[in-house]
Chain A
Amino acid sequence: RRVTGGKDEL
């Protein structure tokens, strides 16, 4: 799980 940074989902 990517916590910080850019999000892939809209």
Chain B
Amino acid sequence: KRHLAALVAKNRRRRDLSEAGYMAFSKRVLKWRLIGEGYSSQLSIEDQRYIFRLAFRMWSEVSPLQFVEDTRSPLEDVDIRLGFGTGRHLGCNQRFDGTGQEFAHAWFLGDIHFDDDEHFTGPNTGSGISLLKVAVHEIGHVLGLPHIYRPGSIMQPSYLPQDSGFEMDWMDRRAIQHLYGGCKGRFSTVFDWIRKEKTPYGEVVIRFNTYFMRDSWYWLYENRNNRTRFGDPVALQIGWRGIPADGVDAYVHVWSRKRDAVYFFKGTQFWRYDNENDRVFRQDPEGHRYPRSISEGFPGVFSPIDTAFYDRRDARIYFFKNTLVYAFDVEANSLARGFPRSIRDVFPAVESGDHPDGNVDAAYFSYTHNTVFLLKGTRFWRVVGSRERRRRPSLQRNGLLPHKEVDEQWFDICNVHPTALRL
């Protein structure tokens, strides 16, 4: 009891007012542990730890919090402690009631207790109570969420048998982000990847997927659902074989009547991607070996670059480097006349002073929005297109509309702790 009292005193200081003025954890990386005296008798220890790793990761995927399992530090330095018990348990003054009714409880100070008289089961097991679902719920309490009665909320007080795969819905995500803010960060590149598919009737259809890349991992963004794919981010080397594992500077898809080539750029080199075999070319059909030097493949363009995109309207690749823009004519295989030019000339500010001013992180043509976006830091600028000019003819061609925050347009692109990348 004295030990717990010391923990209480210490843990009180870990809570502070969040950005929204609510009580929440004040730090962004939290340590957790399944305590040794609190193992369940129903699942193997490894299964229990795996389920908790997954539960914490699910919260990481929708919030700016990261969680790391800590099995070494002194217990008082661990932020969230989990354990199983029955009846009187783990020094807790809230006795469990046996099989049925109460299955777990959690405390703001970071302890989560599970009633081991309940029949807890692993994910995707038909009967029993899903430990994963209960853990996600209780972690929600530890983070500061109350019970929510909305159907579909993970914070409903009563347990509902798990659907084939439960996930955090839109409102639950907003609830946790109300406490801790949205997920922000710079991106290495953003692109829509075109792929061709054959229907059962043999017709070829064109589809695209949106990808956000940051350093050594990436997310697939589901535009129709306004969120990332469940379970992302993924390590770059898993989904994009052969490109630098620590990240890229740019992605360009040259797509015209005569050409269809995907390139990744990093440093002074670039790679061509083989969509058919889902990896980079070592040697493409034209006989070029990769990686190639940017100066060799795109004469006149100085590397390393910040980012690039291909504009199908004029068949040019626009390379961005510092405050300059290099427009490369793909057909002529040379820089377009008059380039390089200042970014402010090529993409003038619609509102004076509201401009990225160079060193852009990503240039992204979105098929969803049919427009180009320039991203820098946590902000983005939308490039004036034909639709905007129809509404406001006074807008300059390729002007940059006033900036917005990336996380107000693309939601929940959240990091997880590196140890959680592979569970």
Are A and B part of the same complex?
A: no
State the B residues within 8 Å of A (CB).
none
State the A residues within 8 Å of B (CB).
none
